[in-house]
Chains A and B, each alone.
Chain A
């Protein structure tokens, strides 16, 4: 297998896990990641251990995968990169466009001065893992230099002259014997829901809360940076929703939200937490006990609220029907967390055009469902591009994809 080469598109849990498995078998991997950092959504997830006990969310395993992947000699990682075009004769020949690397990875020492001095919010992005080097990236969308060339503070202040805002994109050819599509999911954009996301400051998504806890160890209201007194978690935002034709359960949100809720309760015990849900899904191997303890700490309400309104002091007025008393309730929360679902990622469109494979009825992309005809061509999918999956499920699915590709290589030999 040592002469084989695999192109993996996507550097999240699925892509990284698969890359490591290939690399361990001596197969060379080119891993192409669109964003500036590898690790996908999951690298921003916090450890949610409570009472010094692991709750098996799997977030730390993403960190471990990242570390193994960046240090493996058989894995070449290209961040900020996309497959431009691809053709296949005996092998796949792809052209990879790597966007400008404004911060030089060789020179950068991760001092963070660029971020400290940058006058614009989110114009310098910060990674979530020490294994993402550089730990910082320039966000062209917000940076003033790319607007009107009015600011070069990061470049001027960098002690290592690692910042070059005039860098150009580069293109490079890649040859591969198989392609593995692992481009992940799109968190549902809740702006279309009547929850005021994007308009009300103290409405955040579950993913944003994960990132907040990972960065700061605390939960604070984005509005005034103070700890919230009443938090509401709203489940199934963009999942199990017939109006959206999202006829699937995203599988991971109950686990993520309830684990976070209990972590917040442990670290900020004065916080009152309410959990709005349809059906609580089983997660983890000791769910029975976890759920029993959860109900002691957290108020569970089986209802999905209607419209939210923002009060003058940036609190949120939430209306819901109490399923037990049938009363219409109106309550105030100072932070609302929306458990946004796993939805098909936009890039499935370009992938399905490029590789001539159609998405399923809900828009996810899975080669397995198309019979062997597609994987016969050396194109495979893995991870949440195929539909909702937890971190452990994704790791297992990546192993399965690697096995299929190994068998495919074996078939080519005969």
Chain B
């Protein structure tokens, strides 16, 4: 079957992805909710299909085989795609309210000012009648280099080509972008006056006839000034579009604090999402410069190429739901961070989408999900030899550390390499994700004579499976509470977070735990006791 790539968006980034992919022979569908496609020069062909007025409503199945329901021109349509790239444009909201201002003929947004400067004919008369323009940026909320660049470019044009006096009022000037320090100096040379604030903010009054009066204490001269600009330009916040947010919900994609369609997770660098086969490029994922958007488009194309050439993955290694035991409680469906579980006649795992984290297995109340090499019985087998027993003279606690393969297990290797001393009775069991750790694993360890069990997981926000570390935390806390109730030392179970590059901290954590266990003495659950 021919695999198509669906690009969602109607802006430069979406077009750039298409332009990159077309020469590779990839079959592409561009779908936009807008009435027309914004760029000329895209010819519909065998390789390129364009769907306008098309709004997605749901998506079933997984990578290589997405089945998408959409509404096109008020009629339902189905789109089949192997891979999806979300490249919707962002949206701007004006910051008038942050400064206590209302929009008016002389109090405008940054976008409005950009339009005036872009428009070569009519609106120029506006600029011919004024002398002083004030830009307000990053005074209440922190700004970004993208906005700072637009403010500085606008001010430079006003200063140089229209002979206006410009003022930029800001707190931290965001110059962390290519060429921005240079631009800053250029604007200063052109005559722009920068008024920077550290803690205080200026008093801004919008009087009758919408005249603006700005009063402030200048930190450099220690004097109070009054500025009465003829025009005031207010900065904007860049936020994800409503539709991009909808798409995140449709595709079950984790979002960041501002709602952009990509979790704030290092494992998603640069265009990945928690769903295999769904990529996010450009303004849908973050506030990016034009250059960064171009780079995103190239990375998305590269990722698609990798996905297309990638082989289908073997089913045997992935999670499997055993029909006889499944009661369709949908716990696995709700918890799977990769959305790799489908609900058909049976509850099934899509092998291509499964990342083998084990969260479904650990949390299935019926034990119906299995993953080879990950079952508590296998873990139990790994622990049959108690290394502490050979060292009988002094108490050497047998400590089992269930370590995330990506973080803590790597940190352990680094600790050894760095020459750190680790407890003699430490036994590390690698798990693909700490989310795979269930009650059974922890009790299997205790049942095999462990004096203490640690779950060593990723920091919050750093889990490849998004919430695996959170689930592990809950499991451990529940066991600790239970231990407290039944009068067993809850200190024998510990959860800690680590990153792969924390060798020193790994040794500190396990050695501290060993001290705790030595104080507690041998576990009463030990069979030899």
A contact residues vs B (CB 8 Å cutoff): 21, 24-26, 45-47, 49, 52-54, 56, 58-64, 67, 110, 112, 126, 129-130, 135, 214-217, 240, 242, 247-249, 251, 254, 279-289, 291, 302, 323-324, 326, 387, 392-393, 395-397, 399-400, 402-404, 406-407, 410
Contact = CB atoms under 8 A, between A and B. Distances in A.
Given A60-B500, A240-B175, A403-B302, A248 B182 contact: yes
Contacts of B198: 302, 323-324
B309 A63 contact: no
A216 B499 CA distance: 15
Nearest to A250: B176
Interface stretch (B241-249, B262-270, B388-396): B262-270
B462 A282 contact: no
B298 interface: yes
Contacts of B90: none
B500 A400 contact: no
Interface in B493-510: 497, 499-505, 508
A400 B299 contact: yes
A324 B175 contact: no
Is the interface on chain B under 10, 10 to 19, 20 to 34, or 35 or more residues? Answer: 35 or more
A53 B460 CA distance: 4
Contacts of B501: 45-47, 59-60, 62-63, 129, 214
A410 B141 contact: no
Given A25-B306, A282-B142, A282-B145, A58 B269 contact: yes
B302 A281 contact: no
B23 interface: yes
Contacts of B414: 129-130
A240 B175 CA distance: 9
Given A54-B462, A399-B295, A387 B178 contact: yes
Contacts of A112: 419
Contacts of B514: none
Given A63-B500, A282-B145, A52 B460 contact: yes
B218 to A, nearest CB: 11
B504 A47 contact: no
B515 interface: no
Interface stretch (B37-45, B155-163, B252-260): B252-260
Contacts of A53: 459-461
Given A247-B185, A281-B176, A403-B298, A214 B504 contact: yes
A393 B269 CA distance: 9
B298 to A, nearest CB: 4
Contacts of B298: 399-400, 403-404
A259 to B, nearest CB: 13
Interface in B275-320: 286, 292, 294-296, 298-299, 301-303, 305-306, 309
Contacts of A387: 178
19 contacts: A21-B302, A24-B306, A25-B305, A47-B499, A54-B266, A63-B501, A129-B501, A240-B181, A248-B182, A249-B176, A249-B177, A249-B181, A251-B177, A279-B174, A281-B175, A281-B176, A285-B258, A288-B141, A324-B219
Nearest to B302: A403
Nearest to A116: B419
Interface in B414-445: 414, 416-419
A407 B23 CA distance: 9
Given A63-B501, A285-B258, A399 B302 contact: yes
Contact of B292 (A63, A126, A396): A396
Contacts of A407: 20, 23
A186 to B, nearest CB: 18
B444 to A, nearest CB: 26
B192 interface: no
A24 B294 CA distance: 22
Nearest to A62: B501
A217 B271 CA distance: 32
A403 B257 contact: no
Interface string B160-194: 00000000000011111111111001000000000
B301 A403 contact: yes
B410 interface: yes
B20 A403 contact: yes
A15 to B, nearest CB: 16
Nearest to A366: B178
Given A47-B505, A63-B410, A126-B418, 19 more contacts: A26-B309, A56-B265, A56-B266, A60-B407, A60-B501, A61-B267, A112-B419, A215-B418, A216-B504, A248-B181, A249-B177, A249-B180, A279-B172, A279-B196, A281-B145, A282-B143, A283-B176, A324-B198, A324-B199
Contacts of A287: 142
Interface in B134-161: 141-145
B458 interface: yes
A262 B269 CA distance: 24
Contact of A135 (B142, B144, B417): B417
A281 B419 CA distance: 38
Contacts of A58: 266, 269
Contacts of A21: 302, 306
A126 B505 CA distance: 18
B459 A247 contact: no
Contacts of B497: 49, 52
Contacts of B467: none
Contact of B176 (A247, A254, A302, A402): A254
Contacts of A64: 406, 500
Contacts of B502: 46-47, 217
A57 to B, nearest CB: 8
Contact of B270 (A129, A323, A392): A392
Nearest 10 CB-CB pairings of A with B: A54-B462, A396-B270, A47-B499, A281-B176, A399-B299, A403-B298, A130-B417, A54-B461, A217-B504, A49-B459
B176 A61 contact: no
A58 B505 CA distance: 18
A114 to B, nearest CB: 12
B413 interface: yes
B439 to A, nearest CB: 22
A396 B500 contact: no
Interface in B471-501: 497, 499-501
B222 interface: yes
A268 B462 CA distance: 24
B500 A279 contact: no
A59 B306 CA distance: 25
A293 B359 CA distance: 33
A126 B298 CA distance: 37
Contacts of A291: 142
B177 to A, nearest CB: 8
Contact of B175 (A54, A135, A279, A399): A279
A4 B302 CA distance: 17
A162 B174 CA distance: 52
A403 B299 contact: yes
Nearest to B473: A52
Nearest to A302: B198
B176 to A, nearest CB: 4
Contacts of A67: 410
Contacts of A247: 181-182, 185
Contacts of B175: 240, 249, 279, 281
B174 A282 contact: yes
Given A247-B185, A410-B23, A281 B174 contact: yes
A287 B179 CA distance: 22
A326 B410 CA distance: 51
Contacts of A60: 266, 407, 462, 499-501
Nearest to B413: A130
Nearest to B419: A112
A362 B171 CA distance: 28
Nearest to B460: A53
Contacts of A284: 264
Contacts of A62: 501
B314 to A, nearest CB: 18
A370 B121 CA distance: 34
A157 to B, nearest CB: 15
